[in-house]
Chain A
Amino acid sequence: MTDTLELKQRLLAEFSTREQLLNGSRETPLHILRQDAMNRFDELGFPTIRHEEWKYANIMPALLIPFSSAQPSNLTSDEVCNFYLEGIEANILVFVNGYFAPEHSKFISSEVMMSNFEASLKTPIENSRFAKISGYKNESFTALNTALSNDGAWISIPDGVILTNPIHILMITDSREYSPILHPRHTIHCGDRSEATIIYSSHTIGENSGFTNSVSEISVGQNAKLHQYIIQNDSDLSYAVNSSYVHQERNSTYSVVTVSLSGKFVRNNHTSKLAGENSVANFYGLVIGGSKQLIDNHTLADHSVPHCQSNELYKYILDDRSTGVFNGKIIVRPDAQKTNAYQSNKTILLSDTATINTKPQLEIFADDVKCSHGATSGQLDEESLFYLRSRGIPADKARALLLHAFASDVLNHIAIAPLRDSLDKSIATRLHDESEIALLVE
C-alpha cells in the first residue's frame, strides 16, 4: 500500500514546490482555490475499487508506475503532422505533454478567441471561468487537475459567431524518455447563438507509459450549438482520466461523439447540466477494446429545468480480455417536468474473455417525464454472418461489414465526412482486418 501512496506524495510535494515559486502571488484568488483543491485531493486520495463509481476501473496498478511531472518537449513538425487530420481545413491547437506548442498550431478563424490556459490566466475576467462549472469536492482527479493544471486549450466563441472551420485540439504525449503525468485543463465557451465544431484527439509518441488527467469546462450559451468529436488514440500503455463538465443554457444543443480506439486505461466522465429550458444534450460513444484494455464511460445528464432532452447511445466492440464499462446516470430534478431522456448501451463481445459492465442509474424526482434505457450485449450475429457468407462474402469481410454496420449508428453522428472516413480506416485496422473496409463503405 505504501507504494501506491508514493505518487500521491510526489504530487503533493510538487504542489508545495510550485507554491514556493509563486512568492507574491500566493494570496490571489486563483491560488487560494488551487490550495483548496489540493487539500481536497489530499483528503480524497486516488479512488479505489471500493468506491462505487470506480468499481471496475482499478487505478491502483497505475500508481505503481514511476510517473513524473510532464515537461515540455520539442517535437519536429514531421512528428506532429502525422496527427493532423487529412482533408479537414481546421484551426489547430497543439499541446505536447500538456504544454501549448504554438509552432505546430494554426489559426485560421480570426473571429474566435483561441489561446492557451496559461495565457488566459493573465486576464482576470477569464480567470473567473476557471473552476466555475466543474466541481472538485467529490472528484479527486478533478481536484488534482484544479490544483496542478498549468496549460490547456482556451477557446471562446463570441456571441452570434457561426464557425465554419472546426477547431482541432491535438494532444500529444511524448513518453520516449520517461513516463509523464499531465493535467491539461481546457476551457471552452460558446457565446449565445454561436455554433462550433471542436475535434479533440489524443495520441502518444514513445514506449513508456503516460498518465493524462484532463478536465474540460464547457459552457454553451443560449441558442448555441457545440459539436464535439473526441478521438482517443493513445498508446496501449497509457492511462487517461478525462472529466468533462458541460453547462447548457436555454435552447442550446451540445453533442459529443467519443471514439475510444486505444489506451490501456480510459475513464471518461461526461457531465452535462441542462440548466436552460429546451436544451438538448447528445452523448454518443464508440469503444473498440482489445488486449487487456479497460474503457469506462461514466455519463451524467443532469436535468434541472423543464422541456430538455438528453440522448445517449454508447456502442462497444470488445475483444481479447478487454473490459468495457458504461455507467449512465440521468438525474431529473423536481422542476424538470417534460423531460425526455433516452439511453442505450449495446455491446458486441468478440471473445469469451471480454466483459461489459453496464449500469443505468435513473434518479427521477419529477412525474411528467419520459425516460428510457436499454442495454444489450452478445456475440456477432451468426445468422447475419452466414447470410453474408452465403452470398459469397468471405468470413473476415462479412465480419468487418457487420462490425462496421454496428459502429455506424454512432459514427453517423460525425458530420465531417473526412473525419468519419479516417475513423472507418482506423477502426478497420484496430480490428485487425485486412479487408478493404473503406471500399465497403464508400
Chain B
Amino acid sequence: MLSINNLQASVEGKEILKGINLTVNPGEVHAIMGPNGSGKSTLASVLAGRADYEITGGEVLFEDKDLLEMSPEERSHEGVFLAFQYPVEIPGVSTANFLKTALNEVRKHRGEEQLDAMDFLKLMKEKAKLMDIELSFLQRSLNEGFSGGEKKRNEIFQMAMLNPKLSILDETDSGLDIDALKIVSNGVNSLRSENNATILITHYQRLLDYIIPDFVHVLYKGKIVKSGGKELALELEARGYDWVKDEVGE
C-alpha cells in the first residue's frame, strides 16, 4: 500500500528526514516512536503534503502512485488521512459544514454519489455515536475552544467519516483521559479492516495496549534506527531510548 524509499526532507535548509524506509501493507498497524524532535511529525506532514518541506531525495509510492506529486487534497481523495498532532482552530467553520464538503469531494473522486443533507446527517449521527461526540459539538466552530482531548476525538471522528485507506495518527493519544483513550482506540479498532492500514505515532506504550501494532519502529534523528514487533514498545517503555542511541553508536 505505502512504500517509502530513502525519503529525505528538509525545512529551511535544515535536513530533518535523512533517508526513511518503510513499507506498510493493507491490514497492518505500524507504530512509530522516538524522542522529541526526531522527525515523526515531519514524516506525517510530508506524507500528507504540507508545503513547508522540501523533498531532497527518495520516493513515496501509495498504491503504486507517486504520492509526492499529489496535492494535499488529491492525497486525501486517494485515501490518505492525517490526524494532526495539533489540530488548528478555524473560527466560523463548523465541523459538520466543512466535513460535508470534504466527504462529497472524496466521494466524487471515488465515483460515488453525492450525499444529500439527510444522508450526511445520518452518517454523521452514526459516527458521532461511535466516538461519543454530541451532535451539537459538530455544529460549533472547528476546534475553537475545544479541549485538547476534544480536538483529538474530533480528528478520529473525521477519520471515521472519510473512511481512509491509510490513517496516520500523530500523537492522537496525547492529552486523552483514560476513558477517552478507550473510546478513541475502540473507534480506530472498529475502523480497521484488511483493506486499510494505520500508522500510529506515539510516545506511550499505553495506546498500544488498546491498538495492537504489528510493527514498532524507532525514529531517531530522521532515520528509522530500529524495528520490531509489539514487544519493542514495552522495552522502550521500560528502558527509554538511550540503549537504542547506543546501538546506533552515539
Contact = CB atoms under 8 A, between A and B. Distances in A.
Given A390-B48, A391-B158, A401 B91 contact: no
B197 interface: no
Given A401-B93, A406-B92, A393 B71 contact: no
B213 interface: no
Nearest to A440: B101
A387 B144 CA distance: 14
B207 interface: no
A405 B95 CA distance: 12
Nearest to A409: B92
B92 A405 contact: yes
- Chain A's interface size range is 20 to 34
B105 A394 contact: yes
Task: Name A's interface SS.
Answer: helix
Interface string A201-234: 0000000000000000000000000000000000
A78 interface: no
B75 A390 contact: yes
Q: Which has the most chain A C-beta neighbours within 10 Å: B49, B103, B105?
A: B105
Contacts of B99: 391
Interface in B95-154: 97-99, 101-103, 105-106, 109, 117, 141
Contact of A388 (B81, B92, B102, B103): B102
A388 B48 contact: no
A390 B49 contact: yes
Interface stretch (A263-271, A378-386, A426-434): A378-386
A440 B97 contact: yes
A389 B74 CA distance: 9
A75 interface: no
B76 A390 contact: yes
Given A387-B84, A390-B72, A397 B92 contact: no
A61 interface: no
Given A395-B71, A395-B73, A440-B97, A387 B90 contact: yes
Contact of A386 (B72, B91, B106): B72
B88 A381 contact: yes
A306 B248 CA distance: 73
A404 interface: yes
A391 B90 contact: no
A382 B51 CA distance: 9
Interface in A405-442: 405-406, 408-409, 439-442
B92 A408 contact: yes
Given A387-B87, A389-B76, A401-B93, 5 more contacts: A388-B90, A394-B105, A406-B92, A409-B91, A440-B98
Interface of B: 48-51, 71-73, 75-77, 81-82, 84, 87-88, 90-93, 97-99, 101-103, 105-106, 109, 117, 141, 158, 162
